[in-house]
Amino acid sequence: MLKGKKILLAITGSIAAYKSILLVRLLVKSGAEVKVIMTSAAKNFVSPLVLSTLSNNKVLVDLFDEDTWANHVMLGRWADVMLVAPLSCNTLSKMASGQCDSLLLAVYLSATCPVVVSPAMDEDMWHHPSTRKNIQSLESYGNKIIDVDNGELASGLVGEGRMAEPETIVQYITEQYFRDKALDGKKGLITAGPTYEPVDPVRFIGNHSSGKMGFALAEAFYMRGAEVELVTGPTIEQVKYKGINVTHVKSADAMYNACVGLFGSADITVMSAAVADYSPEAPALEKIKKSSGQLVLNLSKTKDILRSLGERKQPGQLLVGFALETNNEKEYALGKMKSKNADMIVLNSLKDANAGFGHDTNKVTVFEASGKEHTLGLASKQKIAEEIVNIIIDKLNG
Ligand code: CTP
């Protein structure tokens, strides 16, 4: 996601500085080039040696280093984003008032790139009127503030003031600055996860879908610039980016209603949810009690959402289905694409090891109605989602 992006991480003296080690690792793992600067107070909490090793770059602390002047102006011009994390109360106050008594503050004042700060302090300090005022000043300068977390603080108290987790910080800057524009102005509708069909108030019929593929698709569309509506069945997955609109549903019927409501304004729809084909005809209102004989449930067919959307499809709308097969895979997948009026179908074979339900990886073949075929080898669901989005972008570009 951050491949080739240049991040300047500025660390100040706060106990939360220990999290900066993980932050550097995450940024580097995401493909970013990272340079670290820190205040001398920050050295009390985290060692420059660890940070220089992880970032593969020298860590700068002072404006003068062994008779050499550190070129603070170039650091702020080099970076795509300057990230101050953790931001202590002291450095916040200095940034707000324009003081310049450290390398970090000199870089901040001369930075031409966007500046994001992730504060960390005790709850009472966080709520102090001077801190509120300083945060407002930073906002008025155009700096972005990452919300503090609520939880255990270094003082032993519990409350607001914890620095956001490194994952949250990386997701924030990725969403804020590094979405591309290939699908700018396009609206995507994605479905994910299983559906739960109620048997009685405590039981349901479901399936093993984890929702991972649909969530990865929603994120991939979003990062290419699309507006995204994600309709998901029950799952523990959570979206990484705040800008994705999520509708939570349980049953196939609820998913049908949500999709029909959103489909009219969608340019691209991808139905990756594992929708139940059958649902108990008359769910019991009270818990079904054990009895000596067999229990027979009458199931009725659910509405086929993809087929219904295929019937409603207008020129200019692109509709993509998924097909989960165990045998005669290609034949069944092509049959579903045609009969449901989809423009593409993504085939998941349950014969492939480490692919499909529950896994973090997948292996799929994408068939286009035009006859084109794309085989995507075993890769993370994120990578597969990005490839599927690339295929869709190529198709839209003709
Ligand atoms: N689908 C749907 N509504 C349903 C059932 C399936 O929208 N009630 C969609 C799925 O989201 C998927 C595609 O149809 O995009 C194919 O789903 P799949 O379960 O592979 O096929 P089915 O059509 O249900 O056929 P079968 O179970 O007989 O293979």
> In the 3-class helix/strand/coil scheme, how is 171-184 assigned residue by residue?
HHHHHHHCCCCCCC
At residue 307, the pLDDT reads: 98
Query: What distance lies between CA 222 and its chain's CA centroid?
Result: 9
**Alpha-carbon dihedral of residues 157, 126, 23, 41, nearest 10 degrees?**
-90
How many A from CA of 273 to the centre of ligand 1? 8
Catalytic residue among 57, 71, 90, 207: 207
If one compares 151 and 245, the residue with the highest pLDDT of the two is: 245
- DSSP label of 112: -
Q: CA 152, CA 120: separation in Å to the nearest integer?
A: 12
Which own/partner contact pairs does 358-364 have at CB distance under 8 Å and 24+ positions apart?
358/208, 358/210, 358/212, 359/212, 360/212, 362/213, 364/388
- DSSP label of 224: T
Nearest Cα residue to atom 4 of ligand 1:
304
Work out which ligand 1 atom sits closest to the CA atom of 342. 15
Maximum average pLDDT range among 60-74, 82-96, 353-367: 82-96
pLDDT at 344 > cutoff 70: yes
* Residue percentage of the chain with pLDDT more than 70: 98
Q: CA 80, CA 113: separation in Å to the nearest integer?
A: 6
At residue 35, the pLDDT reads: 97
The mean pLDDT value for 84-90 works out to 97
At residue 70, the pLDDT reads: 67
**Confidence class for position 214, pLDDT limits 50, 70, 90:** very high
Q: Is 331 in the pocket of ligand 1 (CB under 6 A)?
A: no
- DSSP label of 357: T
Tell which residue, 183, 261, 170, 178, has the closest CA to residue 221: 183
**Confidence class for position 384, pLDDT limits 50, 70, 90:** very high
pLDDT at 67 > cutoff 70: no
What the block records as the tokens of 59 is: 């860590």
Q: Is 302 in the pocket of ligand 1 (CB under 6 A)?
A: yes
At residue 353, the pLDDT reads: 79
Average pLDDT, the chain: 95
How many A from CA of 180 to the centre of ligand 1? 32
Residue 32's region, left for phi above 0, alpha for psi from -120 to 50, else beta, is beta
**Confidence class for position 319, pLDDT limits 50, 70, 90:** very high
- DSSP label of 194: B
Q: Is 321 in the pocket of ligand 1 (CB under 6 A)?
A: yes
Handedness of CA 329, 331, 336, 338 (dihedral sign): positive
Domains 6-177 and 187-278+299-397 share a fold: yes
How many A from CA of 274 to the centre of ligand 1? 7
Compute the radius of gyration of the chain from its Cα atoms: 26
How many A from CA of 355 to the centre of ligand 1? 18
Q: Is 273 in the pocket of ligand 1 (CB under 6 A)?
A: yes
Tell which residue, 398, 360, 396, 392, has the closest CA to residue 378: 360
pLDDT at 350 > cutoff 90: no
Q: Is 259 in the pocket of ligand 1 (CB under 6 A)?
A: no
Q: State pLDDT tens for residues 287-309.
A: 999 988 899 999 999 999 999 99
At residue 334, the pLDDT reads: 97
Query: 286-290, 349-353, 366-370 — which is least confidently predicted?
Result: 349-353
Q: CA 372, CA 391: separation in Å to the nearest integer?
A: 10
The mean pLDDT value for 215-220 works out to 98
pLDDT at 356 > cutoff 80: no
**Confidence class for position 56, pLDDT limits 50, 70, 90:** very high
Tell which residue, 49, 177, 61, has the closest CA to residue 113: 177
Q: Which of 190, 251, 277 to mutate to test the pocket of ligand 1 (most atoms within 8 A of CB)?
A: 277
pLDDT at 25 > cutoff 90: yes
The secondary structure element, H or E, covering residue 303 is: none
Tell which residue, 235, 229, 206, 233, has the closest CA to residue 217: 229
pLDDT at 64 > cutoff 80: no
Domain ranges of the chain: 6-177, 187-278+299-397
How many A from CA of 340 to the centre of ligand 1? 9
Work out which ligand 1 atom sits closest to the CA atom of 306. 7
At residue 149, the pLDDT reads: 94
The mean pLDDT value for 10-31 works out to 96
Maximum average pLDDT range among 61-70, 71-80, 277-286: 277-286
The secondary structure element, H or E, covering residue 153 is: none
Pairing mode, if any, of strands 227-232 and 187-192? parallel
Q: Which CATH architecture has domain 187-278+299-397?
A: 3-Layer(aba) Sandwich (3.40)
The mean pLDDT value for 144-154 works out to 93
Q: Is 328 a catalytic residue?
A: no
What the block records as the tokens of 305 is: 């959402």
* Residue percentage of the chain with pLDDT more than 90: 88
At residue 66, the pLDDT reads: 63
Write down the H helix ranges in 268-380: 305-312, 329-339
Grouping H, G, I as helix, E, B as strand and the rest as coil, residue 2 is coil
Spatial contact of 234 and 315, defined as CB atoms under 8 Å apart:
no
At residue 398, the pLDDT reads: 85
CATH number attached to the domain at 6-177? 3.40.50.1950
